[in-house]
Structure 1
């Protein structure tokens, strides 16, 4: 074990404003997920700033804890898994394919989510701090009934075998609409490198088209896209145009706790496999 991990975990807890839980139970998991969502932003800036994305535990902790940045699903849930394991939770990485336009499924390893087991006899739980606008609380992974969450009604259902659910795949639905198809087989962090490479290099990936930085709030979301600051409270959405680069730098710091030394281009990047 990394001898510096205990100090890093203490710094991680400080980063999300959480106390070390007395026990790894469902109450603690719910609190940790909410604090992570409201503190650590979902962002793809590394892709647009030409920064490397390394799916290794030490690198993920450095980015999120030391550099006080965010990331996309592989980084956020990868780091959250390290935190949870260090606190006594049993965590399994799961791969999922996201439903896109027209319900079309994305690539394998399109998304990373977490199966989390607690010591209180509840669960297992589907924890996710990397899917953008999603459930506030962990979802009961084995529950096939409707689950009410502050962000809407969710259901986890068996996926049809003819649609690729041959391994007991599960559909995660929000208000009846499928969000992603979850493969319940355990995965390792290295398994997601291909998906991460695709999303940081392919013009077909939405992540390469434009930079975004978004954080969950207790009433909605706050999102920065280039010079556009979007605030959502319930069903109401407000947009503010930031006129100068200085205002954008200040917005990254004020709303996301990030101090950038340069801004990503607003119109995306022409990334390719050659510069991955």
Structure 2
């Protein structure tokens, strides 16, 4: 069943990389409609394609076509570039295929709150001051995702749920926790400077919806490991949707009837 929202926020899809969960995103877009969609940066990973060569399977093309189709049907789509697709920052105000590019935006919710929409890399000191280190970190992240992929193939064979090393590290490693906390505080302060009630961003692949010093801090997460999005309901309420969790729940609901049927068949045969 398709769900309709006032606004949908997506970021850090990283099309053009093997790590992008394009098939899962297509499934999400098929079941979710919105009056407005914000693409909050790092939608296409130009860094990785420049370094490793062109990578663009059909599923990535399907994501683009799905978004363009929504635009043709009347959905307003605003693209706020990030650091991996920063080339688009040189074209603010341009429209392509019904998609509008903006360097940043101030969005007003249905209940009257003003939220600054920005990718967030501008406030990552590593990206701003040590670009070479940011690229090195991107390579290390790619290696971690490669190792994680093989680790999770083994987990699937054992019937275990997907486990993200990167997400675990962000929650457990002190330096990563401190970085996230500092990033959230700086973004909240930037929203305050603009007279906004909150900020919606991406960049660090860590979904959040919380108050920071009287300012609402919202991070959309990503479509590489967590597969999360932020939606605005008709009344202005903002919610994080964890689509990977929803898929796991759906799989469990489908598996339980099959298991009961198999168990019943086994009992009948034994009788």
The TM tier, using the shorter chain, reads: under 0.3
TM-score normalised by length of structure 1? 0.26
Which one has a larger percent helix, Structure 1 or Structure 2?
A: 2
TM-score normalised by length of structure 2? 0.27
